[in-house]
């Protein structure tokens, strides 16, 4: 089974739009929406939920008011200011470190488990999908991302999918690392803005670190052609194949409002602009599919590694 992860240094680059489009092009790929902070893929793919599972988060302190004498020791030792004046716990502040439990002379504090979110398995019109819902105040953790990927892999087995499409989380932190480890190819979606190149570099550093073959594309390239050329030059130097330049268009939004992928939208609405855009996405997908076949792997991998030294 092959795995493709789609990432971008920051949010709002069009990652999810592309993932959705790829899912309708590839048909019968399993999907993993690893943007667990704000999972948007379900809004287009309208999944039928088949199963939900709670993801455990950090524990939470809890004070037994019958035992507490109000001595305030817990308030003094808690470095996160999570014990409130009335000796209850602020759930958004508590890190579950357990210091208060050992400091309390009355044994009035204990740690209780807490749920940080849910991992969901479902079926969509293009294949099975796993995604997550994070609770308010909870950190997007690598743990939850791993759960989503595990569920996606199980679904892929069950439904005989040969490919898993991973919609990655934004940023370059722990959830992104969890989303790309062990994948066969990473597509970085870039944008020609002041931070675009910077974000791309960080993302590429990460994939080089994990030795994952990497390709890139530029979204809204015609907003700032000068910046797009800079990105192109960087890709050439780093040995990252730049597979497509997508134009600035309202087609993606129109398709989103209709709850369709751009590919479906182009097929349904007789809009020549949409057909043109869908064709660019289709070409991009063909390039990616080719690279997902074994023979390409080694070449792109070794070239991507070069930038680590420079």
Partner 1 sequence: MRIAIASGKGGTGKTTVAVNLALALEDVQLLDCDVEEPNCNLFLGFELEPVEEVNCLVPEIDPDRCTLCRNCASFCKYNALVSLPKKILSFPSLCHGCGGCSLVCPAGAIEEKPEPIGVIKKAPCGSPLTFLCGTLNIGKAMATPVIRSLQNHIDESKPVIIDSPPGTACPVLEVMECADYCVLVTESTPFGFHDFLLALEAAKALNVPVGVVLNRDGLGDSRVEDFCRAEGIPVLLRIPDDRTIARLYSEGIPFVKEMPEWKKKFEHMFGTIKGLACKNTGVQ
Retrieve residue 45's tokens: 């793919």
H or E segment to which residue 144 belongs: helix 142-158
Backbone angles phi, psi at 90, to 5 degrees: -80, 110
Kindly tell me which of 25 and 78 has the beta carbon lying closer to ligand SF4: 78
Q: Which of ligand SF4, partner 1, none binds 69 (CB below 5-8 Å, type-dependent)? A: ligand SF4
Convert residues 162-201 into a mask of x (bound to partner 1 by CB under 8 A) and - (unbound): --------xx-xx----------------xxxxxx-----
Backbone angles phi, psi at 24, to 5 degrees: -80, -20
Distance (Å, rounded) from C-alpha 44 to C-alpha 114? 30
58 binds ligand SF4 per the rule CB under 6 A:
no
Distance (Å, rounded) from C-alpha 20 to C-alpha 258? 13
Retrieve residue 260's tokens: 């369709």
147 binds partner 1 per the rule CB under 8 A:
no
**Rounded to whole angstroms, what are the CA distances from 236 to 114, 194, 288, 307?**
47, 19, 17, 11
Backbone angles phi, psi at 124, to 5 degrees: -120, 175
Kindly tell me which of 106 and 289 has the beta carbon lying closer to ligand SF4: 106
Which stretch in 82-90, 123-131, 223-231, 255-263 sits in contact with ligand SF4 by CB under 6 A? 82-90
Which stretch in 218-226, 230-238, 277-285, 290-298 sits in contact with partner 1 by CB under 8 A? 218-226
Distance (Å, rounded) from C-alpha 260 to C-alpha 231? 30
Say how many CA atoms lie within 13 Å of 71 toward its Cβ. Answer: 14
Among 11, 54, 97, 269, binds ligand SF4 (CB under 6 A): 97
* Torsion (CA) 215, 220, 226, 231 in degrees, nearest 10: -10
279 binds partner 1 per the rule CB under 8 A:
no
Instruction: Please state the closest distance from residue 138 (CB atom) to ligand SF4, in A.
Output: 15
Handedness of CA 14, 15, 18, 19 (dihedral sign): negative
Q: Which of ligand SF4, partner 1, none binds 71 (CB below 5-8 Å, type-dependent)? A: ligand SF4
Instruction: Please state the closest distance from residue 76 (CB atom) to partner 1, in A.
Output: 11
Among 49, 98, 115, 290, binds ligand SF4 (CB under 6 A): 98
Among 50, 51, 80, 229, binds partner 1 (CB under 8 A): 80
80 binds ligand SF4 per the rule CB under 6 A:
yes
Number of C-beta neighbours around residue 132 at 10 A: 25
Kindly tell me which of 69 and 195 has the beta carbon lying closer to partner 1: 195
Residue 187 CA to chain centroid, in angstroms?
12
Among 7, 25, 55, 108, binds ligand SF4 (CB under 6 A): 108
94 binds ligand SF4 per the rule CB under 6 A:
yes
| Residue found by looking up tokens 């690392």 in the block | 177
Name the site residues for partner 1 (rule: CB under 8 A). Answer: 10-13, 16, 37-38, 40, 43-44, 58-59, 77, 79-80, 92, 95-99, 102-103, 134, 136-140, 170-171, 173-174, 191-196, 220, 223-224, 227, 248, 250, 253, 256-257, 259
């Amino acid at each position: 089974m092959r795995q493709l992860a789609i990432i971008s240094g920051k949010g709002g680059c069009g990652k999810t739009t592309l993932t959705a489009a790829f899912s309708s092009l590839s048909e019968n790929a399993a999907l993993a929406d690893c943007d667990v902070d704000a999972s948007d893929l379900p809004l287009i793919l309208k999944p039928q939920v088949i199963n939900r599972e709670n993801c455990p988060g950090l524990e939470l302190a809890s004070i037994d008011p019958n035992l507490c004498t109000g001595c305030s020791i817990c308030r003094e030792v808690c470095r996160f200011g999570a014990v409130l004046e009335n000796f209850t716990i602020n759930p958004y502040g508590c890190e579950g470190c357990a210091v208060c439990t050992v400091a309390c002379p009355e044994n009035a504090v204990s740690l209780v488990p807490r749920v940080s979110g849910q991992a969901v398995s479902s079926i969509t019109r293009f294949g099975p999908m796993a995604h997550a819902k994070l609770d308010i105040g909870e950190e997007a953790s690598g743990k939850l991302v791993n759960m989503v990927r595990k569920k996606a892999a199980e679904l892929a087995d069950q439904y005989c999918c040969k490919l898993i499409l991973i919609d990655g989380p934004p940023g370059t932190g722990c959830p992104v690392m969890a989303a790309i480890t062990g994948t066969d190819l990473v597509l970085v979606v870039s944008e020609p803005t002041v931070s675009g190149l910077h974000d791309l570099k960080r993302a590429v550093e990460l994939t080089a670190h994990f030795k994952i073959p990497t390709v890139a594309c530029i979204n809204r390239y015609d907003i700032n052609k000068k910046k797009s050329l800079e990105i192109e030059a960087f890709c050439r130097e780093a040995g990252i194949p730049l597979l497509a330049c997508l134009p600035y268009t309202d087609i993606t939004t129109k398709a989103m409002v209709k709850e369709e992928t751009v590919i479906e939208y182009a097929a349904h609405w007789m809009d020549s602009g949409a057909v043109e855009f869908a064709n660019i996405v289709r070409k991009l997908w063909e390039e990616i599919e080719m690279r997902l076949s074994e023979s390409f792997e080694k070449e792109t991998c070794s070239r991507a590694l070069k930038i680590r030294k420079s």
